[in-house]
Structure 1
Amino acid sequence: MKAHEIYNTIDPALVTRMLDWFRENDRNVYRSALASLAQSRKLRLVFVQKKPVVDQYAWILKTLKSKQSDTIGEHLLQAWLMAGNQDMLAKFCDEVGIEHDGKGSVTGDLPEELSEETVDKAVDALVADFDPKLVTLYLTVFNLQKPGGWPALSAKLESDDRLSLS
């Protein structure tokens, strides 16, 4: 699943959470993304900046749904997950046995295989502690880190009713 496909299926409230986090914690990333998206639409940044925040968010989401915004969209997802959701990432790494820096950044190699049992245990632990939509988003983005994803994780994302982006 590409970034634009994620944005086409994601609950808009989750995108609002992400954008709120950037506005509160890393305004430079927010401004940079806004500028890049405006430029990709051949708009002046000031045109978008003059909009009320709610309208900016709606415009950003609409733009991120476009295939041409994949790179920016993926960067935003990765930056938010890595900086704003470290507890969840670290818990996942612990559950599946991936070496990390204590904040969820992988320090070793990603595993070649993930067993169904390991994935089931990790998903149960994450859903117990975090918003299932956020968990789904993270697992979807994580599964993009290996070409074709991990079969057990892909199957879990498709079959577990708790895991939905919408």
Structure 2
Amino acid sequence: MKSHQLVSSISPELKQDIILYVQTETKEAFRTALFQIGAQRKLRPQYFQNKSRAEQGAWLTKQLELKTFDSVAEQILQLWLLKAKVPMLTAFLDAADIKHDGQGQVDDLPDELTTEQISKGVDAMLVDNKGEEVALYLHLFQSQRPDGWPTITEALESRPELKLGAA
């Protein structure tokens, strides 16, 4: 699933949480995304200066659902995960026995992941996180390889708590 499709599929609450986090905690990244998309839409920066923060966030969210801005959507989702959800990422990686830098970054992706590794990783994430957040991470993790990992696909399809759009 592409990043713009993920943004379209997640619940309004999670979209708002992600945009609010990026808007408040990584202000420069938010402004860059806003102005980058705005420039492609032939909008001047003044267009956004006349909008409230809520209106800016709502506008950006709608744009991130478009295929044209898939790369920006991917950057926003990755930024949120790598900054706001470090404990969730490291819980998965530790439980699945995947080496990482302690902040959720993986340099050497495994060729195979067993059902047991994925099950342990998912269970570890679900202790402190919503199923939809876990599902979003797994979808993005899958996108790191052309065909992903069959065991992650299986977990996403078989575990009812791992559904997008379910807040």
TM-score by length of 1: 0.94
CA drift at 1:88: 0.8
CA drift at 1:8: 1.3
Identical amino acids, percent of aligned pairs: 38
Distance in 2 of aligned mates of 1:78 and 1:60: 16
Match of residue 125 from structure 1: 124
CA drift at 1:49: 3.2
Match of residue 33 from structure 2: 33
Match of residue 8 from structure 1: 8
Write out per-residue CA displacement over residues 80-131 of structure 1, whole angstroms, 9 at most, x where no aligned residue.
Answer: 1112211111111101111111111114x11111111211121112112212
CA drift at 1:19: 1.6
Matches within 5 A, 1:36-51: 36-51=36-51
Contact preservation (8 Å) 2:22, 2:76:
no
Root-mean-square deviation (CA, aligned residues, Å) is 1.2
Distance in 1 of aligned mates of 2:16 and 2:49: 16
* Aligned residue type for 1:139: L
CA drift at 1:2: 0.6
Matches within 5 A, 1:13-24: 13-24=13-24
Match of residue 66 from structure 2: 66
CA drift at 1:35: 0.5
Is 1:78 matched up with 2:78?
yes
Match of residue 163 from structure 2: 164
**What SS does the corresponding residue of 2:18 show, helix, strand or coil?**
helix
* Aligned residue type for 1:94: D
* Gapped regions of structure 2 (runs ≥ 5): none
Distance in 2 of aligned mates of 1:136 and 1:113: 19
Match of residue 153 from structure 1: 152
**What SS does the corresponding residue of 1:106 show, helix, strand or coil?**
coil
CA drift at 1:155: 1.3
CA drift at 1:73: 0.6
CA drift at 1:136: 1.0
* Aligned residue type for 2:51: K
Write out per-residue CA displacement over residues 116-166 of structure 1, whole angstroms, 9 at most, x where no aligned residue.
Answer: 121112111211221211111111101111111100001111221101110
Structure with greater contact order relative to length (CA < 8 Å, sep ≥ 6)? 2
* Number of aligned residue pairs: 165
TM-score by length of 2: 0.93
Write out per-residue CA displacement over residues 3-27 of structure 1, whole angstroms, 9 at most, x where no aligned residue.
Answer: 1111111112112111211222211
**What SS does the corresponding residue of 1:114 show, helix, strand or coil?**
coil
